[in-house]
Amino acid sequence: MNKKYIKYIEYIVNDIEAPYFKYMGETYGLKQGEMDLVLSKVYNQPVTTKGRSVYDTNGNTIYYENSDGNWIKYEYDPNGNTIYSENSNGFWVKKEYDDNGNIIYWESNYGVIEDNR
């Protein structure tokens, strides 16, 4: 890649916000491979995409966007448990798990739901 292209990709990475696919397609006209490159930089890890879903190297869905631009993001612990999710409507959830994979803490933008720590 030449320096100008790398600089352009970095500009997009610093500029975009969710909904990523809508933004990358409509605003920048990026191709699939370019979208993968941008999203890998956004998520600071190698990612793969299929349709409007983004997957981490463990195959976990870390982002999904529908054709209307509504989206949801996910974060996982090393055991593959969802520890955070957030959607385009402003709803978010944080979770913590014990060593057996049981939820011991659950909080959302509505407040603490469960605290068994």
Residue 29: predicted pLDDT: 93
Which amino acid belongs to residue 55?
Answer: Y
What are the helix (H) ranges across 1-117? 3-15, 20-22, 32-42
Which amino acid belongs to residue 90?
Answer: G
Domain boundaries, the chain: 1-57
Q: What is the pLDDT of residues 74-108, one digit of tens each?
A: 999 999 999 999 999 999 999 999 999 999 999 99
The pTM (predicted TM-score) of the whole model is 0.88
Q: 111 or 44, which is more confident?
A: 44
> First vs last Cα of the chain: how many Å apart?
49
Of the chain, the percentage scoring pLDDT greater than 70 comes to: 99
Cβ distance 75 to 65 under 8 Å? no
